[in-house]
Structure 1
Amino acid sequence: MDVAKTKLMVVSRKEVIDDCIYIAGQKLERVRKYKYLGTWLNETWDSDQEVKTRIEIARNAFEKLRKIFCSRSLKISLRIRLLKCYIWSILLYGCEAWTIKENLRKGIEAFEIWAYRRMLAISWTHKVSNEEVLRRVNQKRELLQTIKMRKVSYLGHVFRHDRYELLQLILMGKVPGKKSVGRRNEQKERCVLRNIREWTGVTSATQLFRLARDKIKYGELIANLR
């Protein structure tokens, strides 16, 4: 173990002050967030920072290729194909693990329209509606739908392969103890399974797990996502 490269992060609903861990006489540094395999993880264990970071990385990538995406010498259909290949792929990296809340949904959809507006050279002062922008590029909103399909598909992949036994245990497991006192915050308690259950219309987690193991029925479920 390289102690100098080892950090400590605490994931807890309660504030933890006594977090001292020593290895070979050296105290581990506590961090609030860290990047693992290109993805940001934090103490609150939500996807807000990661999604916002991916959007900014994708925006910067767009700006670097702006001359291509905004070139009038190329057909808009070709530019959109390039956009989906080089920009959407950057944005959607690791989206299978995201928990989509309302603010993140708005941010993702706003970035999608932002890219199309730049390609068409439409300023916000032109007062062109988002629907009109989509009509001009002959596209539908697809980023959020792609995220839904990839998240739901990945759940089926996990439950149909024995090598993901640990992941299955985590998803189906129950946390012992009582719930915290007070009104529930739906935004904070939004989780991966809650996302999938809302999108598929399957209210029971047990039923969802059973369907995930049936490739044919689960494929039909994915094709009819809300």
Structure 2
Amino acid sequence: MHFKYLGSFISYNLRDDFDIDLRIKKAGQAMGALKHFFNNKHVDTYNTKHLIFKAIPLNLLLWGCETWSLREDHYVKLESFLQRSIRNILNISMTQVKVQDDHIKREDSLKMFYDITNIRTTIALCQLSFIGWKSSQE
């Protein structure tokens, strides 16, 4: 039902569900392997942890995203992984997210983690880069 081509899985039904689920699983495994690093309070959160997260788990998550045909449920899965990972790295508990007095919104957690961009923007930049668009940030 699926075959691997250049590191991504292609499904005969031409849907990217299998590849995206596999990417989330691989990035989750990388987060598990890096758990001790991310929980180390002696490592600088705003520089080192951010760069390592972008280099390994986020790169594993979005490998081949330039060619994905994404639906809304895919964006929700990918954004959920990003938010869960950031909360784990920053040691933000779900009670801090859900309690109204100390409510931490999604945008706040992104800003707290070195102002990392959300999944939609990151994927859009990857897709634009794939077709040759040059960012003004480069």
- The TM-score by the shorter chain falls in which range? 0.7 to 0.9
Q: How far apart, CA to CA, are the structure 2 residues paired with 1:87 and 1:63? A: 10
Q: How far apart, CA to CA, are the structure 2 residues paired with 1:50 and 1:57? A: 10
Report the aligned-residue RMSD.
Answer: 1.9
Q: How far apart, CA to CA, are the structure 1 residues paired with 2:5 and 2:41? A: 40
Residue number in structure 1 paired with 2:5? 36
Distance 1:120 1:153, change over 3 A: closer
Deviations 1:34-77 (A, max 9, x none): 22332111121011211121011001111011110121111111
Higher normalized contact order (CA 8 Å, seq sep 6+, divided by chain length):
2
Q: TM-score, normalised by structure 1?
A: 0.52
Q: 8 Å contact 1:33–1:41 — kept in the other structure?
A: yes
Matches within 5 A, 1:2-151: 32-77=1-46, 78-126=48-96, 127=98, 128-151=104-127
| Cα offset, 1:84, TM superposition | 0.7
Q: 8 Å contact 1:47–1:98 — kept in the other structure?
A: yes
- Percent identical pairs in the alignment equals 26
Q: TM-score, normalised by structure 2?
A: 0.81
Partner amino acid, structure 2, of 1:75 = D
Deviations 1:12-33 (A, max 9, x none): xxxxxxxxxxxxxxxxxxxx22
Partner amino acid, structure 2, of 1:122 = I
Secondary structure at the aligned position of 1:44 is classed as coil
| Cα offset, 1:141, TM superposition | 2.7
Q: 8 Å contact 2:23–2:62 — kept in the other structure?
A: yes
Residue number in structure 2 paired with 1:16? none
- Runs of at least 5 residues in structure 2 that lack an aligned partner in the other structure: 99-103
| Cα offset, 1:81, TM superposition | 1.1
Q: Which has the higher helix share?
A: 2
Equivalences, count: 129
Residue number in structure 1 paired with 2:101? none
Q: How far apart, CA to CA, are the structure 2 residues paired with 1:88 and 1:134? A: 14
Q: How far apart, CA to CA, are the structure 2 residues paired with 1:150 and 1:132? A: 23
Partner amino acid, structure 1, of 2:112 = R
Q: How far apart, CA to CA, are the structure 2 residues paired with 1:97 and 1:151? A: 7
